[in-house]
Amino acid sequence: MRKIAILGLKGGIGKTTTCVNLGSCAGAARQRVLLIDTDTQANVSLAWASWT
């Protein structure tokens, strides 16, 4: 099992976009994907819902 963490202290640098795109690519390659969003704005949840 591979774990990838994407972090940065500054906002607006593409962390959510990178996370969702990596998850989408891994899912397209038939890999199991679990995205965990610790941001209080829950942007990964919103972005992932718009991709599916």
| Contact by Cβ (8 Å): 16, 43 | yes
The reply to whether 44 falls in a domain is yes
Q: Does residue 52 register a pLDDT over 80?
A: no
CA angle 31, 33, 39 (to 5 degrees): 160
The reply to whether 39 falls in a domain is yes
Q: How many domains does the chain have?
A: 1
Which pTM does this prediction carry? 0.73
The reply to whether 2 falls in a domain is no
The reply to whether 3 falls in a domain is no
The reply to whether 4 falls in a domain is no
The reply to whether 9 falls in a domain is no
Selected residue with higher pLDDT from 5 and 43: 5
The reply to whether 20 falls in a domain is yes
pLDDT digits (tens, 9 = 90+) for 12-40: 888 888 988 998 899 999 999 998 877 77
The reply to whether 31 falls in a domain is yes
User: Which range of residues forms the domain containing residue 20?
Assistant: 15-51
- The per-residue pLDDT for 28 is 92
User: Alpha-carbon distance 35 to 48, whole Å?
Assistant: 9
